[in-house]
Amino acid sequence: MPRMPNFAIDGPAGSGKSTVARELARRLGLIYIDTGAMYRAVTYFALQAGVDLENEVELDALLNEIRFSLVRNLKSGTVVLWCSGVDVSPHLREKKVACNVSKVAAATSVRSYLVQYQQLFARTGGVVMEGRDIGTVVLPDAEYKFFLTASLGMRLERRGKELQAAGQSFTEEELRWELTYRDEMDRKREVGPLKKAPDAVAIDCTYLTVPQVIDKMLEDYGGG
């Protein structure tokens, strides 16, 4: 069997990368991996356990108890991320998780723990992995790398719709704060900041539909 390629997709919150990555994986028959969900899952467990999110010793102790696995849903055929034997996806968009995830994502021990898992998941190829540091840190040798952007207005709109679909109610102000604050934290942190890899193809998704973005991605590599 030939090795399937890996796709690394990075970009700020609301740039449309989750929808694009999921659809690209579906079209190519690859496994979609949302690394933001892993940071959110650690944040969810930390909040549940009452861990001080700025205390790396407490976070380290929690990490010792967290195991990730990819589980294929036999009905839908999709692959879902499980955390310590549980499908935590219903909790990942909760407001308290969204408001605290940047603190957890800035912790060096959390990042190195999750990056190891992410590299393991991609070891045999065939993944579409999205996040902030995939092209730079997690999979610097990925066959295909993209960095997606969009205007702040469009990102706010997309994020609002995404949260609405997840049954979460945010005011416009909360949404704007959440997005701009998290972006700033993600760009400024010392380890694995949000950054375009020099060899990633940048795509501005402000005025493009999901199929248009995917066509562009496949075109760029002559795979369309």
Residue 138 and residue 129 in contact, taking contact as beta carbons nearer than 8 Å: yes
Closer to ligand DC by Cβ: residue 164 or 215: 164
Q: How far is CA 26 from CA 20, 79, 84, 128, 217, in A?
A: 10, 11, 26, 10, 14
d(Cα 77, Cα 26) in Å, to the nearest integer? 10
By beta-carbon proximity to ligand DC, the closer residue of 202 and 223 is: 202
Minimum separation from the CB atom of position 36 to ligand DC (A)? 2
Look at phi and psi of residue 169 and say left if phi exceeds 0, alpha if psi is from -120 to 50, else beta: beta
Nearer to ligand DC among residue 75 and residue 154 (C-beta): 154
Please state the closest distance from residue 224 (CB atom) to ligand DC, in A: 26
Angle at the Cα of 95 (from 16 to 187), degrees rounded to 5? 50
Nearer to ligand DC, 48 or 219 (CB): 48
CB of 66 to ligand DC, least distance (A): 15
Beta-carbon count within 10 A of 84 CB: 12
Nearer to ligand DC, 49 or 166 (CB): 166
Least distance to ligand DC, CB of residue 18, Å: 7
Please report how close the Cβ of residue 129 comes to ligand DC at its closest, in angstroms. 8
Distance CA 67, CA 105 (A): 17
Contacts with ligand DC by CB under 6 A lie at 13, 35-36, 39-40, 101-102, 105, 131-133, 182, 186
